[in-house]
Structures are given as structure tokens and as C-alpha cells.
Structure 1
């Protein structure tokens, strides 16, 4: 299953929610003026399946960053 993360410089894509907003970011050359955000995404897995791996591809820009991961079974 492929998941396209929201670009942290933009608005959330369908299904994502903004959880943190910053007025700027710091890079190699110092403080920038671009507002950035952290988003949350929910991904439904096959009910009978069991996740075995998570691969973050880094071949394109922006490269996704994973800050946290949690899992829970749906409530009956």
C-alpha cells in the first residue's frame, strides 16, 4: 500500500489532520520564513493481515519523516 504524506510546508491532504504549526523552520543557513506543520494520517490495514514492515522511500523530495507510529485494533 502506498501512502503519500502531506508536504509539511502545505495544507493537509484528504484524510490528514494538522497537529502542530510552526511560524518558521531552521535550515543549514539559519532561520527561514516558511511556516511548517506536522500532520497525522490514519491508514486502514487489511483486517486479517499483520503488518511486517514499513519502508520510507527517500528517492524524491520532500523526503517523508516519521516522528511517531502507533497501532490499535478497531473497536467492535
Structure 2
């Protein structure tokens, strides 16, 4: 009975050939300060959009009412 040779160990495979995920290290993740800055300013990006939508809805409603109101 001959045994098959084991696959060489790589970062993605163990010595038995099983696939594994590499461990995550601290590198590659944004620092907490960057996350805090983004979290602080991100809601401010929505304020101009909300104002634009409010004005657009009001202008559209006025135009719609003028177009559907019968002239006397």
C-alpha cells in the first residue's frame, strides 16, 4: 500500500492540503481616527441632498398644480 505524498504547505494550504484563510493582522485596516472623521462628516453630505429634494418637490408640486388647474 503506497501513501500519496502530502502537498507542500503554503499560506493558503496546510500540510494536508486543506484550504485555510490567512489570519488578518492590523495592517490594511483604517485607523480609528480616520473612521471617526468619516463618521462625523458623512451625515453632512446628506444635508445638501435633502435640501435639494425638498426644493425639487415643492417646485414640482407647484408646476403640477398650475398644469392641472383649469383656467377660468
TM-score by length of 1: 0.16
TM-score by length of 2: 0.17
